């Protein structure tokens, strides 16, 4: 299992790094999906297969497919990759790199000074424990999450609608779903 973890971690890091340097959105998306799948594998090694399944079903399966859907609706041509290349200049990496290094320093310091706690709890929490926690102490959280999702639903519905009303002739630019 250790080996699996380190392999998945390596895949996750590399694919994630590739996400942010890609010129083509779909390729970036594929790397992102790969990153998420490796994260799911890591979850399994961390004793959380339930969440790993959710990660794949919801993150990789539903959220990412939304991205694919939107990309297909936008149907960006080949010129967008050139535009990306133009936007990505070497100098832009400096600031984020400094920030990242600062954070790295923080993390290393933290890990250095914090006492080493080794060993894990004997039993990993399964779906049953998660469910009981969700509908026990976290019930309010579940309710809030459902309200949030409802708000997201209403919000995206509204946004999607108003486009058509304001720009009737451009509404067809999205293509597919109307015919």
Partner 1 sequence: MGKTVPETIRHLIIVFGVLAVMMSIAAGLIWVERRLLGFWQDRYGPNRVGPFGILQPLADMIKVFAKEDWVPPFADRPVFILAPAIIVVTVLLAFAVVPFAPSISVADLNVGLLYFLALSSLGVYSVALGGWASDNKYALIGALRASAQMISYEVFMGLSLMGVVMLAGSFNLRAIVEAQRRLWFVVPQFFGFVIFLIAGVAETHRLPFDLPEAESELVAGFHSEYSGMKFGLFFVGEYLGITLISALIATFFFGGWLGPLLPPAVWFFIKTFFFIGVFILLRATLPRPRYDQLIRLGWKVMLPLALANLVVTGGIILAAG
Partner 2 sequence: MLSLLWLVPALPFAGFLALALFGRRMGAFAAAVGTGSVGLSALFALAVAAGFISSPPPARIYTQSLWDWINVGGFKPGILLYLDSLSLVMVLVVTVVGFLIHLYSAEFMEADDGYSRFFAYMNLFVGSMLVLVLAGNLLLLYLGWEGVGLCSYLLIGFWYRQPENGAAAIKAFVVTRIGDTALAIGLFFLFLNLGTLDIQKMMNMAALRWQAGSAYPEIAAALILGGALGKSAQLPLQTWLPDAMAGPTPVSALIHAATMVTAGVYLIARTNVIFTMAPAVQFAVAVIGAATLLLSAASALVQHDIKRVLAYSTISQIGYMFLALGVGAWSAAIFHLMTHAFFKALLFLGAGAVISGLDGEHDIFKMGGLRRQMPVAFWCFLTGACSLAALPLVTAGFYSKGLILFSAWQSRRAGFWLWAAGIAGALLTSIYIFRLVFIVFFGKPKTAVVKKPGPRIVIPLVALAFLSIVGGFVNMPAFFGVKDVFSRFLESVFPVPPQAASLPETELLLETVSAIVSLAGVYVAYFFFLAAPEYSEEMARTAPGRALGKFWFSGWGFDWLYEKALVSPYRWFARANRNDAVDLIYSFIAAASRFFHYGLSLSQTGKVRFYAAVLALGAVITITIAVLAR
Partner 3 sequence: MAAVPMEHVFVLAWVLFITGLVGVLVRRNLLFILMSVEIMLNASGLAFIAAGFKWGQPDGQVMFIFILAMAAAEVSVGLALVLLAYRQFRSLDADQASRMRG
Q: Which does 113 bind (CB under 5 to 8 A by kind): partner 1, partner 2, partner 3, none?
A: partner 2
CB nearer to partner 3: give 1 or 176. Answer: 1
8 secondary structure, DSSP code = H
Residues 95 to 124 in contact with partner 3, rule: CB under 8 A: 95-97, 99-100, 103-104, 107, 111, 117-118, 120-124
CB of 164 to partner 2, least distance (A): 25
Contact status, residue 16 vs residue 38, Cβ threshold 8 Å: no
- Which of partner 3, partner 1, partner 2, none is residue 139 near (CB under 5 to 8 Å by kind)? none
**Helix, strand, coil content of the chain in percent (nearest 5):** 80, 0, 20
Neighbours of 59 (CB within 10 A): 16
43 interacts with partner 3 by CB under 8 A: yes
* Structure token digits, residue 90: 């070497």
Q: Which residues bind partner 1 (CB under 8 A)?
A: 24, 26-27, 30, 33, 40, 49-50, 52-54, 56-57, 60-62, 65-66, 68-69, 71-73, 75, 126-127, 175-177, 179
Closest distance between partner 2 and the C-beta of residue 107, in Å?
Answer: 9
In angstroms, what is the C-alpha Rg of the chain? 21
Q: How far is the CB of 89 from partner 2 (least distance, A)?
A: 13
The residues, ordered by sequence, that sit 6+ positions from 130 with a Cβ below 8 Å of its Cβ are: 50, 51
**18-52 burial, b for 16+ CB within 10 Å, e for fewer?**
bbeebeebeebbbbbbbbbbbbbbbbbbebbebbb
Tell me the closest approach of the beta carbon of residue 78 to partner 3, in angstroms. Answer: 15
Residue 53 interacting with partner 3 (CB under 8 A): no
CA 105 distance to own-chain centroid: 25
Binding site for partner 2 (CB under 8 A): 95-96, 99, 102-103, 106, 109-110, 113
């Amino acid at each position: 299992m250790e080996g699996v973890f380190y392999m998945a971690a390596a895949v996750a890091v590399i694919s994630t790094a590739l996400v942010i340097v890609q010129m083509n959105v779909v390729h970036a998306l594929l790397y992102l999906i790969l990153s998420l799948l490796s994260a799911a594998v890591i979850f399994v090694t961390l004793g959380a297969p339930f969440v790993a399944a959710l990660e794949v079903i919801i993150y990789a399966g539903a959220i990412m497919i939304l991205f694919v859907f939107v990309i297909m609706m936008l149907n960006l041509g080949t010129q967008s990759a050139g535009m990306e290349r133009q936007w990505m200049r070497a100098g832009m990496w400096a600031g984020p790199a400094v920030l990242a290094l600062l954070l790295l320093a923080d993390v290393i310091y933290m890990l250095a000074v914090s006492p080493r706690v080794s060993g894990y709890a004997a039993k990993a929490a399964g779906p049953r424990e998660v469910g009981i926690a969700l509908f026990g102490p976290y019930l309010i959280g579940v309710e809030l999450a459902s309200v949030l999702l409802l708000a997201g639903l209403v919000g995206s519905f509204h946004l999607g609608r108003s486009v058509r009303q304001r720009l009737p002739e451009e509404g067809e630019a999205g293509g597919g779903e109307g015919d």
